[in-house]
């Protein structure tokens, strides 16, 4: 039974429309059953001036700047970045042994009033 019961939660992500409850807790069980990992992580693509792209996944607690890191603009000339996801990452190894990651959500989710288009226009 895929059911979440939460009592006395003071964390915004748990109380806002059940977003975290479904998006992470149930997704973690579904992902485990399907051979994936669903985790509270950002995925960021970084391209160096030579055009070589690498991806990083980073797990940080809520309200610590994960979204701002995922949406940063590099200050070093020639470097580029791409926000794949800032909240929930789903990852698994493919048949060739490469770790693949996706953001199964649409858009960027922010509950903190300081995370906005005005504070981070990226």
Tokens 């070589």 — which residue? 52
Residues facing residue 38 across a β-bridge: 90
In which residue are the tokens 């922010």 written?
110
| C-beta of residue 44 within 8 angstroms of C-beta of residue 85 | no
Q: Which residues are catalytic?
A: 64
Whole-angstrom distance, CA of residue 6 vs CA of residue 118? 33
């Amino acid at each position: 039974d895929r059911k979440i019961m939460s009592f006395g939660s003071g964390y915004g992500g748990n109380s806002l429309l059940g977003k975290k409850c479904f998006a992470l807790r149930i997704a973690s069980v579904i992902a485990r059953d399907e051979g994936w990992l669903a985790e509270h992580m950002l995925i960021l693509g970084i391209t160096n001036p030579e055009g070589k792209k690498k991806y990083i996944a980073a797990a940080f607690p809520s309200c610590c700047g994960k979204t701002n890191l995922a949406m940063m603009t590099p200050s070093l000339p020639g470097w580029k970045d791409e926000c794949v996801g800032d909240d929930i990452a789903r990852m698994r190894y493919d048949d060739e042994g490469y770790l693949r990651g996706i953001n199964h959500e649409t858009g960027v989710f922010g509950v903190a009033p300081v995370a906005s288009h005005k504070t981070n226009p990226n």
